[in-house]
Chain A
Amino acid sequence: MIGKTNAIAVSGGGVELKIVVSVTSGALVTATKGPLSVQGTSVNGTATLTVPEAGTWSVSATLNEETTNTVIINVTESFPAELLFIDPILNNNSWETIRKVSDLGIASNYWSVGDRKAVVLNGSVGSSAEFNKVTAYAYIIGFDHNENKEGGNRIHFQLGFSSLSGGSNVCYVDSYYNSYTSIYTLFNINNSNTNVGGWNASRMRTDVFGQDKESLTNTLMGAIPADLRTALKSVTKYTNNVGKDKTEAAVTATTDYFFLLSEHELFGSIANANTYEGSYQEQYAYYSAGNTKVKRKHTATSETAIYWLRSAAVSGDTMFVICNTSGNVSYNGARTSLGIAPGFCV
């Protein structure tokens, strides 16, 4: 049962409405509502007043000719309650249920890092990747990850795995993988070799992923099922959003529905990014547990793939950080089409 009440049930039906006040012992507490008035004396620091009806009551107290402030209390006879059936197998729950459990901050009581749920991708993403009802398995990479900076009550997922159990950890590639052209919207960070503006200004963030729930044309936002789109929560991500800048001031926030992991979020250390990113980010629990960082092409799981991270490589103004086919950190010119492994929150 989910919900809160300030009333307690009594025998014989109905409810007895009480106001419980914390105040100095001996104080005379008065609750008034229009012509109605109820009084009681505080014992052991608490006064309990039984009021005859619901509504807005004004409560104050007096002691030794001194009067306290007045507190307005809304006493209600009805209160919302919702019962949820929560399946311990993540994949058996709807995105709507997952969202509600996430809202209550109790997701980690039911599910585990690494749990997977099927997501059917359908439609074009960018101009060179067509998903024709491709079943991806999103997996949990953290609960309330870095919540002080990114927001609480969030389950962080990443796409994806090739199957519900076992299978390959994959990234998504388009038909221009490991090459480039400036004509199309590819799985590159930008259409030219620049990291100016960092993640915030990148084409990947807006044109490929889509950062509002109305940007559905040729975006990942448009390719996910509507029920997942409804359940998505935005998340605050801190990244170097300047480019070739090693100062702390370069690390600023974006609000994202989809994001690439940063170097620190994947590796738990920084070799190529602005080192101050590490002060604003945490390594995801899935990866700090030692799971492989090697990903394979979703189109050919026998082949490992290079995939993008959202951190600009600060050694120059053309590169972003990548994870190479050995699972190690490196960097690459921003215009090259590589794999993407998007993260999102519910």
Chain B
Amino acid sequence: MYKIISGGQIVGYSETIVYIKLHGNGCYVPCAKSEAEGFCIKPAVEIDTETRLVDTVYALTDSGLSGAEPTGEVEEISGTLQIAFIENVFNTIVGSLPVNISAEKALLLRSKIEEAIQALDLPFSDASEIPELYPTLRQTGALVPYRTIIRWTDGGLYMAAQDLWDLESNDPAHHPGGWVKIKYRDGIRVVPETISGAEAFSFGELGWWGDTLYKSIRAGEKTNIHTPAQWPEGWELQG
């Protein structure tokens, strides 16, 4: 099994790999790894609600192949170990013994986990440890309530700064004013220059102000919207 990395992220896995170069007439030709300009792999892709294995081409360098392909690198991994790892993660999450699970059941399980995390209203410091389990936008048109935390395509967590409809026009890329990106360092939030209502700190919550660590001492949950510079009385310097 092969792990494919592009743009610094894992973009998929493939059972097969074919090393390729560009033919003079413009098509791709299989070749030895030593003379390859790129490779073709078969990651699982969702097409029309079904998962298919799709031939996908990556160039090994920016100048490889036609120049139009994304660049990628490949790492050979043990398929057996990968499956065992995934099963371990799954069993840990659901707290069960190994079971057979269908794709439909896994999706249902995933949606329940997402719902549960939203219902828990975890503090940001906890959220930073499990960003993968937060939901993402799916352009369903559904309501995204104020302060809902989502996972976005840049890998970051965003909080809705207002009630929003789940539409492309409202996502963080198209409507940045509707979202607040949650910034962390070592699991502790960075205090923004301007703290919006959605970002308000709770009593006892730590925050980085520059390289200095403070603790909010304003009473109540999500009440402190002033930085240590704006209102020093609301913060306690940490040693």
Task: Check A112 against B42 for contact (C-beta < 8 Å).
Answer: no
- For residue A3, CB closer than 8 A to chain B, the reply is no
Assembled-state Cα–Cα distance A164/B18 (Å): 25
Task: Check A288 against B24 for contact (C-beta < 8 Å).
Answer: no
Task: Check B18 against A269 for contact (C-beta < 8 Å).
Answer: no
| Closest chain B CB from A90 CB (angstroms) | 10
Query: Provided the pairs A114-B23, A165-B26, A268-B55 are in contact, do residues A288 and B47 lie with their beta carbons within 8 angstroms?
Result: no
Nearest to A326 among chain B residues (CB) is B47
Q: Apart from A164-B25, A166-B26, what are 18 other A-B pairs with CB-CB below 8 Å?
A: A113-B30, A114-B25, A114-B27, A114-B29, A116-B25, A139-B27, A165-B25, A165-B26, A267-B52, A271-B50, A287-B55, A288-B40, A289-B20, A289-B28, A290-B40, A290-B57, A291-B27, A329-B52
Chain B residues, Cβ within 8 Å of A166: 25-26
Tell me which residues from 256 to 296 in chain A have a Cβ below 8 Å from any Cβ of chain B: 267-269, 271, 285-291, 293
- Residue among A115, A116, A291, A328 making CB contact with B28, cutoff 8 Å: A291
A residues near B (Cβ < 8 Å) are: 112-116, 139, 161, 164-166, 267-269, 271, 285-291, 293, 328-329
Task: Check A112 against B40 for contact (C-beta < 8 Å).
Answer: no
Task: Check A288 against B25 for contact (C-beta < 8 Å).
Answer: no
| Closest chain B CB from A268 CB (angstroms) | 6
Task: Check B52 against A114 for contact (C-beta < 8 Å).
Answer: no
- For residue B109, CB closer than 8 A to chain A, the reply is no
- For residue B56, CB closer than 8 A to chain A, the reply is yes
Assembled-state Cα–Cα distance A99/B153 (Å): 54
| Closest chain B CB from A330 CB (angstroms) | 8
- For residue B108, CB closer than 8 A to chain A, the reply is no
Chain A residues, Cβ within 8 Å of B56: 290
Assembled-state Cα–Cα distance A257/B50 (Å): 35
Chain A residues, Cβ within 8 Å of B28: 114, 289-291
Task: Check B26 against A290 for contact (C-beta < 8 Å).
Answer: no
Nearest to A137 among chain B residues (CB) is B25
Nearest to B22 among chain A residues (CB) is A114
Chain A residues, Cβ within 8 Å of B77: none
A–B pairs, 23, beta carbons within 8 Å:
A113-B30, A114-B25, A114-B27, A114-B29, A115-B23, A267-B55, A268-B16, A268-B55, A269-B52, A271-B50, A271-B52, A285-B30, A286-B27, A288-B55, A289-B18, A289-B30, A289-B40, A290-B18, A290-B20, A290-B55, A290-B57, A328-B48, A328-B52
Nearest to A288 among chain B residues (CB) is B18
Chain A residues, Cβ within 8 Å of B42: 268-269
Tell me which residues from 203 to 236 in chain B have a Cβ below 8 Å from any Cβ of chain A: none
Assembled-state Cα–Cα distance A291/B30 (Å): 10
Assembled-state Cα–Cα distance A269/B30 (Å): 19
